Chains A and B, each alone.
Chain A
Amino acid sequence: MEQKAEEEVSNAFPPSFSSSDLKQLLHSLPSNALNHFFSLGVCVRCILRLFGIKGPIYASIDNGSVENPVDSTASNETKLCNVCLGILQFRFYDDREKRMFQKDAAYDVALLIADMVRQEGYQFDSFSLEVSIPPLILQKEASLWSYIQTKYGSEPWFQEKIHTGCVSIKDALKFSLINPLEKLLDCKSSWCPFRIRLTYTHTKASEGVAKCSDNGGSCKRRKTDESDSTGERPLSSSVENGSFDCSKLFPKSENEPCHFTYNCFRTPFYFGGRYLKYSRNVSQTCWIIDDERMGEASVEEIIGIKVLQACRGDNYKFHAAGREDIDVRMLGPGRPFILEVQNTRLVPTEQFANNIEKMINEEENKLVRVKNLKLVGSDGWNLMREGEGEKQKQYAALVWTSRPLKDEDFQQVSSLKDLKVVQRTPIRVLHRRSPLEREKIIHWMKMETVAGSSQYFLLHLCTQAGTYIKEFVHGDLGRTHPRYDKNLRLMQCLMAKMSGTHTNLLVTALF
């Protein structure tokens, strides 16, 4: 919807407007309604909105030169508009500067915003304007619109407008500000990650705003069959029957300007890739217990900090497709991951991603390596989900066994295909995971001798995702066991009799 409003800016009216052009436009509108709106204390831009007028005229009007066209008296612009409470008159309390502002033209407000953007130091080639209006004003808008519907519903000019509805305050504000901002920031406005957010708030909380949400202002209609191709919101079907006393429309107590605050930010960028972990002392994510770090580093920090610094972001989130223990190496093709970086000041490119990958891989200590680092969109998440669940995972484990190995052992192990095992939640994670029995499949296994030892061997295995490898090998006090007893004796022979520590079992992930 926001996209459409911006596209229509250039279509609706010629860019430059003089005050006589404005006069002419006002004269073309139905004078009885026009006069009534003026007397209700509605500002000129709100009036144009009510008649469904769009375009850069909003940006061109100078508040100082507006006159009531019907009786040429001074306009409403000196008084606070009863509908928009000054938003479209560029009157507000600036929360940043902590004082009241009263500007005559949209350009002056655009100046304030552009200054802020320059100070924040973002790199951008386009911007997207976001506006937030207090529910109170949307409520006033709704009241006014139903009032207008009842009073002028039968008039031909109104019947014509029913399909188009009125222009929302958000859209009118965008019509006002986008052209000047484009000039000041020297780029076009479009749907893009760099956002400029304008937030209006009001101190008077409103009651009963259930019907009005932040979206599209007051002019809402329940969807009908025809698709609405304009950028406006259709009419509300909530007709207020009862009092049409004008003084009740706009309670004086609410007549205060809004608080206005503005900032800019960038929506997150996502880097995807695969990582390899060469160290047995590096955890996947930052692991600190009681102010003490476990291990010497973490994969997420090694990758995240470099990327964050390079694009000058605020913070990062590391998402990996599965995980491995701190003392398990991750080799082979590497584990897929996505790094989400928030509010980057620079715009990352493919070349940028290549450079960061090089930087990480050229680190002296060679704990972690990154492959195929690139920018990803929402498709990245699908690749991640695939990488987690259904896949088969391959490992190598260095195992010690209490009795010397025989040739039959090697053959028997190789002959087991798609072995079903049942794993109760391992004791080492039982404190934080549910006690469950998980059935897993060991697709194949292969034993390899280790030179100079008859009791050490290398076990290559391919298992279902989610299998606890360490527990499969050492049995976890019998809490991991094959589903069919005929395999039990074989597995019991193979399961290493630990002498107390786990240094006799070293696992490496190879997928």
Chain B
Amino acid sequence: MKPRHDQYVYRHANGLCVIGLAPSHVAFKDEGGITAIDFNVGKSDRSGVKVTGKRKKNAQHFESNTALCKVSTKNDSYIVRCCVKGSLLEVNQQLIKQPELLNASADREGYIAIIMPKPADWLKIKASLVSFEEYKKLREVS
């Protein structure tokens, strides 16, 4: 991960992970904030896949460093990565029409995607993630 490309991983008790941009991500520092989002990165358009059924058929399997989408500001664009190895269950389609959700509430309605890791894969990646408390200290956010 590039420096200052801060992202969050919210893990529910059932194992599902919500991925999004942390408040200290460089994109937010650009004037005007984020203006667009594009899920068509890597080999496929992430917003096009239809996952169905209890077994989550058709879900794509990604590594933690796989590109999830690209967010653009007035002058620049940044790659957002999965952070967690697992199946991509859904991306937040609302962002395509309303990218301002990322600026207004990146931690809620501006979430980017939901990924389902296998229990073993979660244990492996957990160590390289930073807890909320540590994050606050590192970024000097209250």
Contacts and interface: CB of A to CB of B under 8 A. Distances in A.
Interface of A is mostly: loop
Interface in B41-66: 51-54, 56
Interface in A400-438: 424, 427-435
A288 interface: no
Using C-beta atoms within 8 Å of the partner chain, give the interface range for chain B: 20 to 34
A157 to B, nearest CB: 66
B12 interface: yes
A252 B88 CA distance: 67
B7 to A, nearest CB: 16
Given A427-B114, A430-B16, A477 B109 contact: yes
Contacts of B13: 428
B12 A428 contact: yes
Contacts of B116: 431
A326 to B, nearest CB: 13
B39 interface: no
Contacts of B53: 434
Given A477-B108, A478-B108, A435 B18 contact: no
A435 B51 contact: yes
A55 interface: no
A146 B95 CA distance: 78
B57 to A, nearest CB: 10
A432 B54 CA distance: 6
A475 interface: yes
B14 A434 contact: no
A427 B13 CA distance: 10
B110 to A, nearest CB: 8
A478 B104 CA distance: 13
B16 A427 contact: yes
Contacts of A424: 90
Nearest to A431: B14
Given A475-B109, A478-B109, A431 B15 contact: yes
B89 A435 contact: yes
A148 B108 CA distance: 83
Interface in B97-142: 101, 108-109, 111, 114, 116
Contact of B16 (A431, A434, A478): A431
Contact of B54 (A427, A428, A434, A477): A434
A501 to B, nearest CB: 12
B12 A427 contact: yes
B94 interface: yes
B52 A428 contact: no
B89 A477 contact: no
A300 B52 CA distance: 32
B51 A478 contact: no
B52 A435 contact: yes
A477 B18 contact: yes
Contacts of A432: 14, 54
A428 B114 CA distance: 12
A433 B54 CA distance: 5
Interface string B1-39: 000000000001111101000000000000000000000
Contacts of B56: 435
Contacts of B109: 475, 477-478
A462 B13 CA distance: 29
Contacts of B14: 428-432
B78 to A, nearest CB: 21
Residue picked from A429, A430, A432, A433, most chain B C-beta under 10 Å: A430
Contacts of A429: 14
A435 B90 contact: yes
B89 A430 contact: yes
Interface in A428-465: 428-435
Interface string A158-201: 00000000000000000000000000000000000000000000
Contacts of B90: 424, 435
Contacts of B16: 427, 430-431
Contact of B18 (A427, A431, A433, A434): A427
Contact of B94 (A427, A434, A435, A478): A478
Contacts of A435: 51-52, 56, 89-90
Interface of B: 12-16, 18, 51-54, 56, 89-90, 92, 94, 101, 108-109, 111, 114, 116
17 contacts: A424-B90, A427-B114, A428-B12, A428-B14, A429-B14, A430-B16, A430-B89, A433-B54, A434-B53, A435-B56, A435-B89, A435-B90, A475-B108, A475-B109, A477-B18, A477-B92, A478-B109
Given A427-B12, A430-B14, A435-B52, 7 more contacts: A429-B14, A431-B14, A431-B16, A435-B51, A435-B89, A477-B111, A478-B109
Interface of A: 424, 427-435, 475, 477-478
Top 9 A-B pairs ranked by shortest CB distance? A478-B109, A431-B14, A477-B111, A434-B53, A477-B108, A435-B51, A431-B16, A434-B54, A430-B16
